[in-house]
Amino acid sequence: MCGRNASGFGQLRSLLELVDGHAETPLRKDADGARLAFPGNSDVRAPQVDAMTLSKSIQGFSLPFIILLEDWTISSWNRGAERVYGHSPEEMIGRCYLELVPESLREEEAAFLTRLRVEESTGAMTTKRVRRDGSVFHVHHEVHCTRHDDRAFLTISDLDITARVRAERRRELLVRELDHRVKNTLALVQALLEQTRLDSNHSIDSFTRTFRERLTSLAVAHRALAASDWEGAMLHELVKLTVQPLGCRDRISIDGDEVTLPNFAVLPLAMALHELGTNAVRHGSLSDPGGTVSIRWRSGRRNEVSLIWTESGGTRVRPPSHSGFGTKLIEQGIPYEMGGTSELEFRPEGVRCKMRIPLKLQGG
């Protein structure tokens, strides 16, 4: 949007005052001796400035400066403008400034320049421009109207702020994503709390232990996601982190392809593996000193991974009399959350679970 920017006009105004011979403050330059930095008030009327002197003065600056005549024809184009736009002075002098403006914004720019010329004032806005190669980029667009021999002309500085705009948009996206994930996490914690209460047989100790373990598995998934800016997680790393709290490292073997899980698959899989692991420690193969667990996976040709959890060498397994939260999570959560499949078998020699994990959402 168009608007006044008090600090933004320091460079243009001080340059004009310098040319006019009455600058109140000296030039200050950065380490490379090129960039100007001036204090100053932007609320000024158009001063009387020698146009030829100003045109010569801007050539020595690395900041992009462009001078327009009253009909918006470019009369001066410095090396800073050449660096930003890619056009040489020979290409641009004599051409209309509006050629640098995207077609959809030309009417807005024409009205903006007309107002500043009529009011003999200054103005600034964030907008877009077009480079020589046709690419569109973001600029902080500052315009200062000056006069010479009763003719108005416009001095323009278009600072490339594309990187800043992109960074701001990414920050806004991350804030929205964080808000979404926090709400989802709180809802999930509430669901875990309720399901754990139902599975705890009115035992406070059982409830506390199980709920803490499930929160730990949730934290493991979040840690894996955070390591990749919530883009996904390496499957091997996720499996390793999930089974680590079980304390049976020498009896759990892990093997599989190098696979990056998409973000939507990380949390459901981590929690499913946690439920399989805690069940193995309490009732399955890991409850016996001679029992083992094998976790193997292979990536297929259809953008999916086949993972198999196999228990062996432990106590004889009996199918549960009822389906608790863990069983429901494995059998129903994988299909619902990921569009995959899950087959859970309580075989006498040990629990076996085969999961098909898609690497892309269905229809994505």
Q: Dump pLDDT digits (tens) for 149-181.
A: 778 889 999 999 999 999 999 888 878 877 777
pLDDT > 80? residue 23: no
Give the fold, CATH level 3, of 7-160.
Answer: Beta-Lactamase (3.30.450)
Residue ranges covered by each domain of the chain: 7-160, 167-358
pLDDT > 70? residue 323: yes
Would you state the pLDDT for residue 25?
A: 35
pLDDT tens for 253-263 read 999 999 999 98
User: What average pLDDT does the segment 237-241 reach?
Assistant: 93
* CATH topology agreement for domains 7-160 and 167-358: no
pLDDT > 70? residue 4: no
pLDDT > 50? residue 75: yes
Bridge partners, residue 310, by sequence: 294, 352
Angle between helical axes of 235-243 and 204-226 (0-180°, round to 10): 160
How far is Cα 40 from Cα 26, in angstroms, rounded to an integer? Answer: 12
pLDDT tens for 116-142 read 988 888 999 999 999 999 999 999 999
Q: Is the dihedral of CA 68, 142, 129, 89 positive or negative?
A: positive
pLDDT tens for 267-293 read 999 999 999 999 999 889 999 989 999
Bridge partners, residue 299, by sequence: 305
Superfamily name and number for 167-358: Histidine kinase-like ATPase, C-terminal domain (3.30.565.10)
Runs of H (alpha helix) within 137-284: 162-199, 204-226, 235-243, 263-282
- Cβ neighbours of residue 301 under 8 Å, at least 6 residues apart? none
Look up the pTM and report it: 0.57
Would you state the pLDDT for residue 50?
A: 55
User: What average pLDDT does the segment 65-93 reach?
Assistant: 93
Q: Mean pLDDT for the chain? A: 81
pLDDT > 90? residue 314: no
Would you state the pLDDT for residue 52?
A: 62
pLDDT band at 214; cut points 50, 70, 90: confident
pLDDT > 90? residue 148: no
pLDDT > 50? residue 240: yes
Name the residue among 213, 202, 180, 161 with its Cα closest to residue 326: 213
